[in-house]
Amino acid sequence: METRRRMLKAAIALAATVGIGATPLSVAQEKDKLRIGWAVSKTGPYAGGAAIGTLPNYMLWVKEVNDAGGIMLSSLGKRLPIGVVEYDDRSNSEEAVRAVERLITQDKVDFVLSPWGTAMNLAIAPTLNKHGHLHLAFNTLTNQVPNLAKRWDNIFFFEGRSDQYAESVVDMLIAQRDAGKIGDKVAIVSIADSFGIDLAKAARERAKENGFKIVYDKSYPGGTQDMTPMLNEIKALQPDAFLAMSYPPDTLLLTDQSRVVGFNPKVFYTGVGTAFPIYKKRFGENATGVMSIGGMNFDSPPVQDYFKRHVEVTGVEPDRFAGPLTYAGLQAFQQALEKVGAVDHPAIIKELKQGSFDTILGPISLEKQSMETLWFVGQWQDGEFYGIEPRAREGARPAVIPKPDWKS
């Protein structure tokens, strides 16, 4: 809660400096700001994720753009600073849709940045498409990326498909089994919603195809407060690998209660939230060896510099998954906008599909409306959440297996 309060205070301070609610100018030649809007969860169940992965990166990017004099639009022959219009979508998809409609039709923003979360992004996608607005779908993870890209030619995804993550963790298990480091028993738990169902299904199928024994495979309802009965049941089965397709509250709870019951398999994998700074802060040395979605090459100087600037501007560390992807996507958007040189959505969309963009994560392309160069499995090692899959990618670290014992 304290982190969320700090982030909201910083957001308010930033809003004051960049001119929220400024009246748009009717004459193009008099345009003195690039108006960018967003409706992001500041209250409700999505507020925690938004305060960690979305808002701080929007704040950082806006501040850095404005400190550099703004975005160069050759059609106007000058740089324009960014003015922000923002709303709280209250973690409600209907409110998010109303806010986006208001941003476009009443506030007359030039661009709309996306909310936090898959459900919210898919909810606003038809509205942005109807108005011909670019949609940078940050913090969105779904197996429907190819179909959605065909339906909406204005949308771009930055986290890939959920099955890529599940299949990659099983590929990692295959390599470790072949190396003699683990056996063939796997336990899977998942939150009972589309996110958990998709990831568990992909992991289950890949594991069975490759000769693993699924000794436990159950879902749990959102809001579960006590995982110990389930964990004790799994512990008795002695799996080599534990895969939890979980949300942040469950991720923290599963880790806490696994320590309490002494459940420490060779591979301990939890879901969203593992890459958050709060995970490292809460568990300290006990984070070492825990795996999850995402990862980073923290040995990269651009990544290290991004971390430093993120802390300086927002007062908090970024998460090690969606945050850097969001910032890299904003860099790509800025480069496409400056190359087009005008607020021309069709031209910018075309440029994003065709171009290559220099980012903190290296060169990226969005040819299929989706970022493909991603870390699918990460692990806490030496105090950082490093990418370990794909293992052939530059900067990948070998997996630490078995996971170290829990410390008291």
**pLDDT tens-digit series, residues 337-392:** 999 999 999 999 999 999 999 999 999 999 899 998 999 999 999 999 999 999 99
Kindly report which listed range (20-29, 102-111, 241-250) carries the lowest average pLDDT score.
20-29
pLDDT band at 48 (very low <50, low <70, confident <90, very high): confident
pLDDT at residue 26 is higher than 80: no
pLDDT at residue 194 is higher than 90: no
**pLDDT tens-digit series, residues 221-280:** 988 999 999 999 999 999 999 999 998 889 999 999 999 999 999 999 999 899 999 999
Q: What fold is seen in the domain 2-161+299-365?
A: Rossmann fold (3.40.50)
Residue found under tokens 């500041």 = 42
pLDDT at residue 190 is higher than 80: yes
Query: Which class for 363: exposed (0-12), middle (13-18), buried (19 or more C-beta within 10 A)?
Result: exposed
- Diameter of the chain by CA atoms? 72
Q: What is the pTM for the complete model shown?
A: 0.89
Determine the distance from the C-alpha atom of residue 236 to the mean position of all C-alpha atoms in its chain, rounded to a whole number. 34
Over residues 32-57, the mean pLDDT reads 94
Strands 356-359 and 241-245: unpaired
Contact 54, 138 (CB under 8 A): yes
pLDDT at residue 23 is higher than 90: no
Residue 235: in which H helix or E strand, if any? helix 228-237
Mean of per-residue pLDDT scores for the chain:
92
CA 90, CA 342: separation in Å to the nearest integer? 32
pLDDT at residue 18 is higher than 90: no
Report the SS3 class of residue 149: helix
CA 112, CA 293: separation in Å to the nearest integer? 27
pLDDT at residue 79 is higher than 70: yes
Contacts of residue 172, defined as CB under 8 A and 6 or more positions apart, other chains included, come to 291, 377, 388, 389, 391, 399
401 vs 193 pLDDT, higher one: 401
| Domain boundaries of the chain, sorted by first residue | 2-161+299-365, 162-298+376-389
pLDDT at residue 13 is higher than 70: no
Residue 4 has a pLDDT of 47
Euclidean distance between the first and final Cα of the chain, in Å?
Answer: 25
Name the token pair of 391.
């293992």
pLDDT at residue 21 is higher than 50: no
pLDDT at residue 213 is higher than 80: yes
Q: What is the DSSP string of 10-61?
A: HHHHHHHHHTTTPPPPSSGGG---EEEEEEE-SSSTTHHHIIIIIHHHHHHH
Residue 6 has a pLDDT of 52
**pLDDT tens-digit series, residues 295-349:** 999 999 999 999 999 999 999 999 999 999 999 999 999 999 999 999 999 999 9
- DSSP structural state of residue 113: E
**pLDDT tens-digit series, residues 138-177:** 999 888 999 999 999 999 999 999 899 999 999 999 999 9
- Of 130, 125, 42, 136, the C-alpha closest to 86 is 42
Do 162-298+376-389 and 2-161+299-365 have the same topology in CATH?
Answer: yes
To the nearest whole percent, how much of the chain has pLDDT over 70?
93
Residue 164 has a pLDDT of 94
CA 308, CA 306: separation in Å to the nearest integer? 5
Residue 231 has a pLDDT of 98
CA 79, CA 72: separation in Å to the nearest integer? 4
Residue 19 has a pLDDT of 41
Right CATH number for 162-298+376-389 from 3.40.50.620, 3.40.50.2300, 3.40.50.740, 3.40.190.10? Answer: 3.40.50.2300
Contacts of residue 391, defined as CB under 8 A and 6 or more positions apart, other chains included, come to 172, 175, 398
Q: Which residues pair with 354 in a beta bridge?
A: none
Work out the angle between the directed axes of helices 322-340 and 345-354 (0-180°, nearest 10).
120
Report the SS3 class of residue 291: strand
